[in-house]
Amino acid sequence: MPIILATDLFVYLLVAAGAYFVVKTRGAGQAADVLRELRKRRLTMAALTVLAIYAGVALMDSVRWRDALDSDVAAGNNGRIYSPEALSLLDRALGGLRLAQEKTYSSPLASRLFTKENALLASGEVRREYAPLKYPGIHLLGTDKVGSDVLYMAVKGVRTAIIIGAGATIIIIPFAIFFGVIAGYFGGVIDDVIQYVYTTLASIPGVLLIVAFMLLFGNRGYQGGSVAPDDVVLGVFVPNDRLMWLCLILGITSWTDLCRLIRGETLKLRELEYVQAARALGAGKLRIIYAHVVPNLMHLVVITFVLQFSSLVLAEAVLSYIGIGVGPQTGSWGNMINTARLELSRAPVVWWNLAGAFAGMFFLVLPANVFADAVRDALDPRLRNR
Amino acid sequence: MKESQTPVVEVIGLKTYFRSSSGVARAVDGVSFGIRKGSTFALVGESGCGKSVTALSIIGLIDRHSGWIEGGKVRLGNEELTSLDESTMRQVRGMRVSMIFQEPMTSLNPVICVGEQVAEGIRLHQKASKQDARVITVAMLSRVGFDEPERIYRAYPHTLSGGQRQRVMIAMAVACKPELLIADEPTTALDVTIQEGIVRLIKEMQSETSMAVLLITHNMALVYKNADEVGVMYAGKIVEAGSVKTLFSKPLHPYTIKLLRSMPVAGQRTHALDAIRGSVPDAASYPSGCRFSGRCPREMAGCAQKEPELVLRGQEHGHPVACHLYDAPFMASRSARLVASAEGVPAPLDKTHNERPVLLEVRNLKTWYPIRRGLFKRVVGHVKAVDGISLSIRKGMTLALVGESGCGKSTAGKSIIRLITPDAGEVLYMGKDLCAMKEGELRPLRRRMQMIFQDPYSSLDPRRTIMNTVGEGLEILYPEMSRRSRIAKTASVLERVGLGYDALNRYPHEFSGGQRQRIGIARALAVEPEFIVCDEAVSALDVSVQAQILNLLKSIQLDMGIAMLFITHDLGVVEYMADEVAVMYDGKIVEHGNVEEIFARPRHEYTKKLLAAVPRIDSALIESLKLPVVPAAWP
Ligand SMILES: Nc1ncnc2c1ncn2[C@@H]1O[C@H](COP(=O)(O)OP(=O)(O)OP(=O)(O)O)[C@@H](O)[C@H]1O
Ligand code: SF4
Ligand SMILES: [Mg+2]
């Protein structure tokens, strides 16, 4: 029985957008030009590959279903009973890691636990020693406090990060472009009102706003872990309030910067001679905006997208750290970092939890930056054919 | 004026190269000249032929990361400048050689008052105390023509006009009595009416200090009136040099002749300008042999093999020239067979001057810009950019609108075709008042009225292909047109303006300034207008390119009977292009009438001032120039 979380929709949307681009690149047109340009640089292609892997992981982690329990209970119940756990494709693929539960910490690739514990020897004697692991050798990044595999946790963090990054930017970009462009292009009262709104928003400390919203709305719906039967709407759909609201509120607090940039740039573009020429040709306002203004703003959008994306992923970590991020049962790098706080202060330092989260972030944020630079250049005909 | 015969500064075989994406750019490739004390040497030539690089090499300001001096010497007195190290060179700069740049705003520090900046140089170079430097500065400022030098001393650059800033730059440059002053396009960024004043100021300073001046400009009239000697530069070399008198009256090199003949003057009206075809070759790939080959109207078989040298060819030619035409042995050989395709006499342009019906009538048009201040942006006043002008434009004729910058010319042009909504007045087009129409009603009329813009760089959307740019008007105004016929129409318009079919799928940055301007013209032509506003459409272009574009506009006008409102500040262009002229001053039209009449007998004070301030070359002189004749071909 399939289960679709509200936030899965973001991932589907992202993957659909990627697929749409790939389809567009077949044939001639701007998309094909852009792709040809991107393929020229090996670094870009490497970044793209890494990003595609991340997207794939996020997608696998967003396709989930509940298994039917074919126990006697079910038969007796005159119907089928489903397990409360809605495992994703990723969970199933990494089943080995997911189920390879140890007792507690073990360092990467260790064969024994990280801490000593009492062991009952055959002689009846009790000794303190490093107990051997149940699944030695498979924990590439060690295990955490409750014995879960750190690599598995880091991989589970991918979906959360991408949802926050993509979800929030999906809100930011249309808002910022829409309001920035109309403020800059139409000016006058419209401009005044929009400027007033975003100045006000920007002057409220973002964190306060986020805390308030999360406390108000963030405690309903799916929180990670098992799916409660009450949460299921329409048979398959599960609202995912906490993560949803986090995206929404992060989006609302961060569209103002881009909006301001876009407004300024539009003010400049509006006066350029090619816009005047288009007006002389009878082009209406809408046409000018979509044909001449927005394409010439894209470089700003692309750069800001990546900077925002990176800072949103980091913001998730910070918010989880102060306890208002995603739910504790949702795998996220923020949660991992949050727990690493105590681990770093232990006598022999437990560093792999932090390292796992860090590696996850690093290999997302760095290629994203590389890729965005390349996209920006590829979008600009002046920089092609260099 | 010539006080001594030994040159103050001597450039000998100077070569300055740059690393560029397409190889080594030989921007300056063996240039030699000398400037005597108290005299002015002018370097002229098309854009990109190495004039600025020559100047920067002399003063040691070549960008060290990409460029270097490959060879040659620059001798100032008995010092060799190219071999000096940076710290010694810094002593020379400002003290013995100083430079004035094109854009006076960027060469002054915006956060320090101008007096301090002038004084700074004086203190540095003359070891003067702070007080002394101030006194000298104030004296300098009054000498460059400021009535209130004390007030100017404390002024910040942005509070001064372009001309005032350039005066400050001159004060700064001559304060230490340099032996050589380099002025690279000192007037290009300034209004026409004050250009001559700035050059005259440089001359005055020169007669006081008897410094040598290297003047770089593309304004031939300025050179004609103000320089003593001229070097004509082409593709990194001087191709002809001599005194102003001989060079302008008896130019020898085909390039010089063509360059002079491309200038629009009254006498040329009846035929197309004698434009140079093609464009300056890229500095990284000059043609072999003579660098002008390929563009030269007198090219001979041997020209592409052997490079001519700059030498004085006997007495009969008078001054040095680098062209095989004056090389007797060459001309006696088989190499002297003419290969340039016959470039006939420029096509005569026949234009009957009889009265034509009025196409467009402007009555009492006003466009005021509100000035807003304060928190609530209250309107505290108006800039009366266009303040009640009346004009009439006849079918197929050209009306020129002239005036100094800021007098409202562009606003007037845009108001007439309703790119700006005027505040009052009417624009009658075939009996209908455009000003009273709504945007929607106006759209069908957009087919009839178009505009060509000044800046070939910002007038094309960098992210749209030429097809999309030129075809945009068709898409909007002829929505019934099929895609295929739109492409066909676009291609034919592009061909009309001299661009090939292959331009369609390219982007604007792949074209030169002149080509971009052609694209802008094609965009306007595509919708088949009856009336075009050309807002300084040729002002940003080089003389040679300007001639090509003027020819194009004129022939299009003849073919299609398009009426034009030609906004410009170049009086030569007005004389050449326009049938009628309207002189605008401070938002008002002060004089309106036939071109010949107004130029011959200006009535309004401002028109008189304008005509007097702008140097022009005698039209008869230009017309008398003829290309040398190549003797009968070899059998
Ligand atoms: N820093 C540089 N790097 C590479 N090439 C350069 C550099 N500066 C100048 N050039 C090249 O040197 C040539 C001469 O340039 P220069 O600026 O001297 O022309 P110019 O005659 O002063 O033109 P204009 O009339 O437009 O001022 C050009 O082909 C230019 O592209
Ligand atoms: S005639 Fe020959 S040498 Fe002289 S300018 Fe023309 S191409 Fe050069
Ligand atoms: Mg220059």
Q: Which chain B residue's Cα is nearest to A274?
A: B459
Q: How far apart are CA A108 and CA A131, in angstroms?
A: 15
**B68: three-class secondary structure by DSSP:** strand
Name the residue among A18, A44, A118, A6 with its Cα closest to residue A369: A44
Q: What is the pLDDT of residue B2?
A: 43
Q: What is the pLDDT averaged over residues A229-234?
A: 71
Q: How far apart are CA B580 and CA B399, in angstroms?
A: 5
Q: What is the pLDDT of residue B16?
A: 94
Tell me the pLDDT tens digit for each residue of B564-590.
999 988 888 898 889 999 999 888 999
Which residue ranges form the domains of chain A, and what is each CATH number?
2-66+149-379 (1.10.3720.10)
B473: distance to nearest CA of chain A, Å?
Answer: 5
In this predicted complex, what is the ipTM? 0.75
Tell me the pLDDT tens digit for each residue of B43-65.
999 888 899 999 999 998 888 88
- Find the distance separating the first CA and the last CA of chain A, reported in whole Å: 53
Amino acid at the residue A318: V
Q: Which band of pLDDT confidence, cut at 50, 70 and 90, is reported for residue B635? A: very low
pLDDT for B106 beyond 80:
no
pLDDT for B15 beyond 90:
yes
CB B616 within 8 A of CB B571: yes
pLDDT for B7 beyond 50:
yes
Q: What is the pLDDT of residue B1?
A: 42
Distance B289 CA to ligand 2 centre (A): 9
CB B231 within 8 A of CB B251: no
CB A277 within 8 A of CB B517: no
Distance B219 CA to ligand 3 centre (A): 12
Q: For every residue of chain A, which 3-state class applies, written as one string? A: CEEEECCHHHHHHHHHHHHHHHHHHCCCCHHHHHHHHHHCCHHHHHHHHHHHHHHHHHHHCCCEEEEEECCHHHHHCCCCEEEEEEEEHHHHHCHHHHHCCCCCCECCCCCEEEEEEEEECCCCCEEEEEEECCCCCCCCCCECCCCCEHHHHHHHHHHHHHHHHHHHHHHHHHHHHHHHHHHHHHCHHHHHHHHHHHHHHHHCCHHHHHHHHHHHHCCCCCCECCCCHHHCECCCEECCHHHHHHHHHHHHHHHHHHHHHHHHHHHHHHHCHHHHHHHHCCCCHHHHHHHHHCHHHHHHHHHHHHHHHHHHHHHHHHHHHCCCCCCCECCCHHHHHHHHHHHCCCCCCCCHHHHHHHHHHHHHHHHHHHHHHHHHHHHCHHHCCC
Q: Which band of pLDDT confidence, cut at 50, 70 and 90, is reported for residue B292? A: very high
Tell me the pLDDT tens digit for each residue of A164-223.
888 888 888 898 999 999 999 998 899 999 999 988 888 888 788 888 888 887 666 676
pLDDT for B22 beyond 50:
yes
Question: Is A281–B509 a contact, with Cβ atoms under 8 angstroms apart?
Answer: no
Q: What is the pLDDT averaged over residues B258-284?
A: 84
**Unique residue bearing structure tokens 């304004």:** B219
Q: Of A265-274, B266-275, B298-307, where does mean pLDDT reach its minimum?
A: B266-275
pLDDT for B41 beyond 90:
yes
Q: Which of residues 87-126 of B touch A (CB under 8 A)?
A: none
- What residue owns the CA closest to ligand 2's atom 3? B323
Amino acid at the residue B609: K
Q: What's the mean per-residue pLDDT of chain B?
A: 86
Write the CB contacts of A262 (distance below 8 Å, at least 6 apart in sequence): A176, A177, A180, A181, A184, A297, A300, A301
CB atoms within 10 A of CB A366: 13
Q: What is the pLDDT of residue B3?
A: 47
- Ion ligand 3 residues within 5 Å by Cβ: B 52
pTM: 0.80
Q: Which band of pLDDT confidence, cut at 50, 70 and 90, is reported for residue B413? A: very high
The residue with greater pLDDT, A46 or B160, is A46
Chain B residues in contact with A382 by the CB 8 A cut-off are 462, 507, 509
Ligand 1 near B58 CB (within 6 A): no
Max mean pLDDT range (B115-119, B174-178, B440-444, B568-572): B115-119
Q: What is the DSSP string of B573-617?
A: HHHHH-SEEEEEETTEEEEEEEHHHHHHS--SHHHHHHHHHS---
- Strand pairing category for B424-429 and B432-433: antiparallel
Q: How far apart are CA B273 and CA B269, in angstroms?
A: 8
Q: How far apart are CA A361 and CA B561, in angstroms?
A: 67
Q: How far apart are CA B89 and CA B67, in angstroms?
A: 17
Max mean pLDDT range (B81-95, B228-242, B502-516): B228-242
Distance B51 CA to ligand 3 centre (A): 6
Whether the CA torsion A224, A228, A233, A237 is positive or negative: it is: positive
CB B455 within 8 A of CB B540: yes
Q: What is the pLDDT averaged over residues B535-558?
A: 87
- B268 close to A (CB below 8 A): no
Q: What is the pLDDT of residue B398?
A: 92
Q: What is the pLDDT of residue B182?
A: 94
Q: What is the pLDDT averaged over residues B422-440?
A: 87
Q: What is the pLDDT of residue A299?
A: 84
Q: What's the mean per-residue pLDDT of chain A?
A: 83
Q: Which of B47, B53, B218 to mutate to test the pocket of ligand 1 (most atoms within 8 A of CB)?
A: B53
Top residue of A34, A36, A269, A281 to mutate, by most chain B CBs within 10 Å, is: A281
Q: Which chain B residue's Cα is nearest to A386?
A: B21
Question: Is B463–A381 a contact, with Cβ atoms under 8 angstroms apart?
Answer: yes
Tell me the pLDDT tens digit for each residue of B582-611.
999 888 999 999 988 998 899 999 899 888
Q: Which chain A residue's Cα is nearest to B458?
A: A273
The residue with greater pLDDT, B94 or B490, is B490
